[in-house]
């Protein structure tokens, strides 16, 4: 047997044993000082609250560590999350992508011991209130800090969809371990059924599911309508809907209660968002409660084949996103019918986007159209969100209103 594989198996067994005997303590996922780099996705939420793969990041850590997870983020967002008890906890940077190796290092940590890499703190074990903890000046809090050279991190918003394939694979195995899929209807054309998992209540009829390229996960009470063609890796979360004749390539995630149609490739669509009509969406991450008007399409590749540059709200400059980057759209934003979204677009929170021709690559929060002088009025924006939420049987909360008011006044 391969030595590396043998060590890998031993390490997994060690993790399982340690987790079994680990005393009860919470995980606090903290946002580091670069959290604004992930705007607009994290303007309305902590990094740990973003869906990546099948799960939200906080849910992923909770399943892996088998401990409760709390969030530590900026003050204007902290009211959205429960307060952690004042006990000893694992403080873990929410941008760190977990695997067996980093899990092994984290669960070995002793009190006041930490791990760091070239970016900063990876994780530490300490008794401290989350409100006092400061990830930028973390060296003051720990008596021993060890350097760890193999951590994988999210550092840009386009990393979410660039990493989605690997994370879908890892989470599929985690979520479906020792469980049996619901039967797949004989009306479907199936390739590699062993890589497909349907939760209770999932409905898939007269579709083509090709799991030869990756896993396909269909969540509880989700629906894939007839004529849809799907290639893995793919996740449709609880109550999600794929409409008739959709063409979806991996690696794609459709969130809880979200609706998808048309042609989609390598996209994360947030919870309760709608891309319910024809049009292309590729290499993108879309926030929650967004809506794409019929015929809206995005460009994900430059016509001259050059690298795509994406605006970073932390560094206040354009960053190289590689050859493919579509759109990063913040929560509560919408496009008019037939909107043409430019390559590498950054569309802020609560925007109403419409234009003749390609949109600009940077559209600020609460934009009305694409004219920088036209701004969505806050009261009108909240009224419209109330109407949108009614479509799906929800209401806008006071916490959401407080957050949106802060973003409107400060960003």
H/E element, 268: strand 263-269
- pLDDT given at position 7: 43
Q: Is it the case that residue 24 has pLDDT exceeding 80? A: no
- pLDDT given at position 11: 45
By DSSP bridging, strand 317-320 and strand 309-312 are antiparallel
Angle at 198 between CA 193 and CA 199, to 5 degrees: 160
Instruction: Give the model's confidence band at 25: pLDDT under 50 very low, under 70 low, under 90 confident, else very high.
Output: confident
Mean pLDDT for all residues in the chain:
93
Displacement of CA 207 from its chain's centroid (Å): 27
Nearest to 302 by CA among 318, 278, 286, 289: 318
By DSSP bridging, strand 152-153 and strand 96-97 are antiparallel
Nearest to 90 by CA among 65, 38, 125: 125
Q: Where are the beta strands (DSSP E) in 50-207?
A: 51-52, 55-56, 69-72, 88-93, 96-97, 113-116, 121-127, 144-147, 152-153, 189-191, 196-198, 203-204
Angle at 362 between CA 360 and CA 365, to 5 degrees: 120
Q: What is the pTM of this model?
A: 0.92
Over residues 71-97, mean pLDDT: 95
By DSSP bridging, strand 121-127 and strand 88-93 are antiparallel
Q: Residue 229 contacts by C-beta under 8 Å, 6 or more apart in sequence? A: 207, 208, 210, 246, 247, 248
- For tokens 């067996």, the residue is 100
H/E element, 8: helix 3-21
339-354: per-residue pLDDT in tens? Answer: 999 999 999 999 999 9
Phi, psi of 292 (to 5 degrees): -105, 120
């Amino acid at each position: 047997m391969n030595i590396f594989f043998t060590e890998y198996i031993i390490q997994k067994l060690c993790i399982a044993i340690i987790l079994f005997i680990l005393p009860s303590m919470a995980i606090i996922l903290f946002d580091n000082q670069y959290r604004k780099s992930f705007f607009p996705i994290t303007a309305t939420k902590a990094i740990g609250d973003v869906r990546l793969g099948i799960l939200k990041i906080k849910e992923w850590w909770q399943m892996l560590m088998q401990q409760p997870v709390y969030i530590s983020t900026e003050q204007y967002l902290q009211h959205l999350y429960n307060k952690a008890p004042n006990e000893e906890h694992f403080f873990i940077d929410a941008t760190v992508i977990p695997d067996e190796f980093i899990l092994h290092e984290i669960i070995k940590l002793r009190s006041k011991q930490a791990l760091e890499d070239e970016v900063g703190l990876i994780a530490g074990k300490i008794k401290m209130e989350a409100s006092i903890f400061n990830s930028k000046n973390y060296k003051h809090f720990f008596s021993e800090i060890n350097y760890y050279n193999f951590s994988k991190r999210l550092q840009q918003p386009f990393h979410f969809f660039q990493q989605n394939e690997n994370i879908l694979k890892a989470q599929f195995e985690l979520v479906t371990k020792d469980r049996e899929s619901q039967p797949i209807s004989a009306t479907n054309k199936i390739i590699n059924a062993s890589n497909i998992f349907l939760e209770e209540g999932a409905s898939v009829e007269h579709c083509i599911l090709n799991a030869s390229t990756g896993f396909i996960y269909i969540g509880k009470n989700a629906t894939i309508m007839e004529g849809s063609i799907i290639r893995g890796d793919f996740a449709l979360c609880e109550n999600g809907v794929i409409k008739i004749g959709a063409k979806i390539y991996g690696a794609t995630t459709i969130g809880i209660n979200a609706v998808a149609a048309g042609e989609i490739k390598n996209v994360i669509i947030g919870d309760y968002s709608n891309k319910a009509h024809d049009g292309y969406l590729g290499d993108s991450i879309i926030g929650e409660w967004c809506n794409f008007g019929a015929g809206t399409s995005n460009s994900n590749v430059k016509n001259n084949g050059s690298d795509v540059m994406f605006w970073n709200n932390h560094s206040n400059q354009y960053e190289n996103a590689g050859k493919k980057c579509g759109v990063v759209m913040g929560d509560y934003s919408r496009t008019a019918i037939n909107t043409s979204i430019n390559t590498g677009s950054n569309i802020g929170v609560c925007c109403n986007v419409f234009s003749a021709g390609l949109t600009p690559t940077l559209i600020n929060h609460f934009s009305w159209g694409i004219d920088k002088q036209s701004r969505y009025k806050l009261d009108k924006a909240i009224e419209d969100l109330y109407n949108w939420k009614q479509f799906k049987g929800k209401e806008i909360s006071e916490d959401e209103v407080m957050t949106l008011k802060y973003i409107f006044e400060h960003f």
